[in-house]
Amino acid sequence: MPSNPLQGARFALAAHSPEQLPPDAGAEVAFAGRSNAGKSSALNALTGQRALARTSKTPGRTQQMVVFELGPERRLVDLPGYGYAKVPQALREHWRQAIDAYLRQRRALRGLVLIVDIRHPLKDFDRQMLAFCADVGLACHCLLTKADKLSRAQAQAALRALERAIADEGWPASAQVFSAHDATGVEAARAAVMRLLETPRR
């Protein structure tokens, strides 16, 4: 089995706003997705660590921008989950503005990993994130998570549907099938994250 380039990830800090993030230098990849799409499980699988990102039976536990250091000036950033979190409207609006500012202004940000539950069509949030990446010139890689819940044929059909949507909309995105549960697509996803980290920011 190849060595895992993401294995050294360690918790650095949790930020309530972009101003609290580490200095805007080096390269980082952000992870975004609906609160129940399996973002924490994906991060744990990619880094080979069971408890790097907190998983919970209550979706929406990530309520800050959580930074994991990979090495000198290389980071993964876990963005607040969107959807199920039972939080006041004012806090939801704060998250929206903070994430918008982060994605638009952060020069160290090289790409976004969008976590999408393979069992459901693209939600409005997913489409907004893909369109946003296109608008700001940010590369995006979609992980169709929870693939173990479907047959191989169903998973491939879902992947083809997403790839058609990406092509039709002209989004700068790639996509793959993924399962943290049975490690489907984990190596390919790690390689995609590394490619994003090495992508120059336009």
Order of strands across the sheet with 109-117?
10-15, 65-71, 74-78, 27-33, 109-117, 139-145, 173-177
Short-list 95, 110, 87, 99, CA closest to 29: 110
Question: Is there a contact between 148 and 121 (Cβ–Cβ < 8 Å)?
Answer: no
Q: What pLDDT is stored for residue 16 in this prediction?
A: 87
Q: What is the pTM of this model?
A: 0.92
pLDDT tens digit sequence for 27-57:
999 999 987 889 999 999 999 998 888 754 4
Q: Which CATH number fits domain 10-197: 3.40.50.300, 3.30.300.30, 3.40.50.2300, 3.40.50.720?
A: 3.40.50.300
Structure tokens given for 69: 């250091």
β-partners of residue 145 are 117
- Find the farthest-apart pair of alpha carbons in the chain and give their distance in angstroms, rounded: 46
pLDDT tens digit sequence for 11-21:
999 998 899 99
pLDDT over 80 at 148, yes or no: yes
Rounded-to-integer distance, Cα 7 and Cα 3, Å: 8
Rounded-to-integer distance, Cα 69 and Cα 130, Å: 25
Q: What pLDDT is stored for residue 93 in this prediction?
A: 80
In the chain, where the domains are located: 10-197
